[in-house]
Structure 1
Amino acid sequence: MSFPLRLSVDAVADRAEAAEIQLVDVREPWEYDAIGHLPGAVNIPFDRFRDAQSDEPGTLPGAAVFRSLLSEAGIFPEKPIVAYDDMHGVFASRFVLTAIVYGYDSVGILDGDFTAWKRSHPIDRDTPTKNKTEGSLPTPPPASPIVSTDTVQSLLAETDTTFIDTREQDEYADGHLPGAIRLDWMELVDPDTRGGKSEQEIESVLIKHAIPTERSTPIVLYCNTARRLSHTYLLLRSIGFENVRIYEGSLAAWDGPLEQTSS
C-alpha cells in the first residue's frame, strides 16, 4: 500500500486543507452532531459497516453494502479516505480493515482520535453537503486477510503460526484459543498521543510477550467481535509485518476447545 495506514493529526490537517483526502467519522450520529467533528468529515457510524443479518456480530457487511454506504455518504472510491473515532482509533481501524478487504488501497486512520485532534485543530458542527457518488466496486486483493474457522483449526496444529488474543486479561483467562498469546490492543496505544505507539515501542511490547518480531512471521489475530483485532492489525501492518491475518468471527464464531488460565 502506498497510502499510509496511520496519519498523524498534523498530517491529516495538512492533507485535508489541500483537499487530498476524504474524512469519515465513525462515531455515533449524536456525537458527530452535538460534540462536533473534523471539518468536512461525513458520518458513517460503526454499526453501519457490520452485517446486521449475521449471528456473529463481528462479520463484515459485504462489498456491495459497504460501497453503498460510501456512495450515500458522498465518498469517492478513487480518492484517499481517512477514518477516525474518539476511542484511540479502534472503531476507525475496523472501517479501514473493511475497506482493505474490499479492495480500497488508499485508506488509513487518524493516528490518534477526535480528542487528540481538537487539542490543536478546529472542529465543526455543520453537516457537509453529501451528493451520492457513483463508481464500480474495487477489486479485492488476491489474498484476503480473513481466515475461516476451518483455517484456524488447521493453523492451530502448526507451530509456525502465532495466534494473538487482543482482549483483556479477564477475557483471556475465561477462555482463549489453545496456545494463543495475549496482547491487549491497548498496550500498543500511546496514552499521550492517543494513537499507536512508535515502531520501536511496539517491538518492545512484542518482545515482552515473546511474540516474534520478524516481519514475515505468520500471525492470526482475534478478539470477540473483530473490533480490537482491527487496531492491532493496522499497527502491525504499518510497521512492516507482511503475513498478518484475522479471524473475523473470533470467539463469537469459535465452537472448538478453549484454554483457561488464572487471571
Structure 2
Amino acid sequence: MYDNVVVSAEWVAGRLDSARIVDVRDAWEFDGIGHVPGAVNVPFAEFRSESGDEGMLPGADTWESLLSAAGIGPDDDIVAYDDTHGVFAARFLVTAELYGHPPDRLHLLDGDFSAWNREHGSTTESSAPAAASYTVDVPDHSPLVDYDTTRAALDDPGAVIVDTREAWEFEEGHLPGAVNLDWRDLVDDDTRGLKPPEELSAVLEGVGVTPDTGVLLYCNTARRISHTYVVLRSLGYNDVGFYEGSLTEWVERGGPLDGSVPDDVLE
C-alpha cells in the first residue's frame, strides 16, 4: 500500500514548490478559468491515443516528450487534477505508472479544481516550466491485463470482474459474470472528492469487492477504470488488474457478452 495516493487540497498547498502539479483540463480552461498556482497544463487529449503502445496509451515516445516539455523528471512527485471528480487526472496517473513512474510519487488531488477553489486561490498566470529530460522505464510488473487474461478470468471463481460504467450501459451488455460499480458511486457530490473510507468500503463490499479478492477492471476505453484503480490502490488493494483494451477491444475480438453493446456505446 502506498501512502498519500489521494491527497487533500491542504496537502497540495503545502507542496506547491516541491511537487509537480499537473492540470489535465483543456488549455482554454487552464488559461481562462484559472489553475492551481505553479501547475503545468497537459490536456487529456494529448496523452490519449488509439495508436500507442497498448489500447489508448499514447506511446512511450509521446509520453517522454509530454513530460519533458512539462518540466517533469522521472523521480518527481506528481499531483494531477481536473474538474471532473478526478477521472481524467486518474488516467494521467495510471499512464505514468504504466510507463514506470514510481507509484509512491503519484498523487490524485481529492476533489478537483472546483474543490480546490473553495478554500485556495487560483491564478491565470503561467510560466514555461524548467527544462527536463523524462525517460520511460517500463516496470517488470504491471497491473495491465490483456484480452486472453481477461477471457480466462471469466472462469476464475477467485476473480471479481468489475464494470465501472453507468447502470444503463451495463444493462445494454457486459462481460459474463461481471458486477457493476459505476465509478461515480465512489465520489461524494458535495465535496467532489472521494466518499469517506467507511462508505467506500460499504460500496465496494456491496458488489463483492474486498481486499482479499482479485479484481479486474474494465469500462469502454479505460478512462473510468483509471479512477477506480487509483481508489482501490489508495485503500490498499494489491491484486487489481487493469484491462486497458476494455470493451473496445473485447467487442472487436468477439469476446462473449451478456447482452450486446451498440457501436455508439463505445465512442
Q: When the two structures are superposed, what TM-score results if normalisation uses the length of structure 2?
A: 0.91
| Cα distance in 2, alignment partners of residues 245 and 172 from structure 1 | 19
Q: Please say if residues 80 and 108 of structure 2, whose CA atoms lie closer than 8 Å, have aligned partners that are also in contact.
A: yes
Matched with 1:247 is 243
| Cα distance in 1, alignment partners of residues 33 and 20 from structure 2 | 20
Matches within 5 A, 1:56-67: 59-67=56-64
| Cα distance in 2, alignment partners of residues 227 and 42 from structure 1 | 21
Matched with 1:28 is 26
How far did 1:115 drift? 0.2
How far did 1:2 drift? 4.7
Identity among equivalent pairs (%) = 49
Q: Tell me: CA distance 1:74–1:49, structure 2 relative to 1, closer, same or farther (3 Å).
A: same
Matched with 1:74 is 71
Matches within 5 A, 1:169-188: 169-188=167-186
Q: List per-residue Cα deviations over 1:166-187 (Å, max 9, x = no partner).
A: 0001100110000000000000
Q: List per-residue Cα deviations over 1:135-180 (Å, max 9, x = no partner).
A: 433x333221111111111111211110000000110011000000
Q: Please say if residues 3 and 234 of structure 2, whose CA atoms lie closer than 8 Å, have aligned partners that are also in contact.
A: no
| Cα distance in 1, alignment partners of residues 71 and 173 from structure 2 | 42
| Cα distance in 2, alignment partners of residues 135 and 120 from structure 1 | 33
How far did 1:134 drift? 1.6
Which aligned runs of 4 or more in structure 1 are off by greater than 3 angstroms?
A: none
Q: When the two structures are superposed, what TM-score results if normalisation uses the length of structure 1?
A: 0.92
Count of aligned positions = 255
- Is 1:51 the counterpart of 2:49? The answer is yes
How far did 1:41 drift? 0.5
| Cα distance in 2, alignment partners of residues 154 and 186 from structure 1 | 28
Structure 1 portions without partners, runs of 5+:
none
Structure 2 portions without partners, runs of 5+:
261-267
